[in-house]
């Protein structure tokens, strides 16, 4: 069972450095220190700048591709809505001309017979 003192010291260690997960991290750190002492920094300043510039260029290309894709989608949506609006207006105009052309009054008996026919259901076996 851990005492209060053990818990606090563990928390202090975790705050000040990486938590101990395995011995490999310590071995790697020791090898890294030795290599830096013997040969200098692992990456030169020019190499660091090249890597950073390459990564920034890649991120800019991704951002450009994302914006281009968004624009393409929005353009297609605008086209689709314009096509649908045109079709709706054409359909309305067709119905208006059809109804205006049939200005003849339909007799009430025929109209009622047609309405009744739509509400009847005939089932046969």
pLDDT tens digits, 70-118? 999 999 999 999 999 999 998 888 877 766 655 555 556 566 666 655 5
Rounded to an integer, the average pLDDT of 38-45 is 91
Please say if the pLDDT value at position 10 is more than 60: yes
If asked whether residues 20 and 52 sit together in one domain, one would say no
If asked whether residues 111 and 65 sit together in one domain, one would say yes
Return the biggest CA–CA distance within the chain. Answer: 108
If asked whether residues 51 and 79 sit together in one domain, one would say yes
- Any residues with CB less than 8 A from the CB of 13 and at least 6 apart, and which? 19, 20
Mapping DSSP to helix (H, G, I), strand (E, B) and coil, where does residue 48 land?
A: helix
If asked whether residues 64 and 79 sit together in one domain, one would say yes
CA-to-CA distance for 18 and 26, rounded, in angstroms?
11
pLDDT tens track for 60-76: 999 999 999 999 999 99
């Amino acid at each position: 069972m851990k005492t209060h003192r053990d818990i606090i010291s563990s928390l202090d260690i975790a705050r000040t450095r990486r938590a101990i997960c395995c011995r490999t991290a310590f071995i790697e750190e020791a090898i890294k220190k030795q290599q830096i002492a013997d040969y200098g920094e692992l990456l030169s300043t020019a190499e660091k700048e090249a890597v950073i510039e390459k990564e920034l260029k890649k991120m800019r290309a991704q951002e450009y591709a994302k914006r281009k894709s968004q624009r393409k989608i929005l353009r297609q949506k605008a086209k689709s809505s314009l096509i649908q609006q045109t079709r709706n207006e054409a359909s309305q105009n067709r119905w208006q001309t059809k109804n205006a052309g049939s200005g003849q009054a339909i007799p009430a008996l025929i109209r009622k017979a047609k309405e009744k026919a739509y509400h009847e259901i005939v089932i046969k076996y």
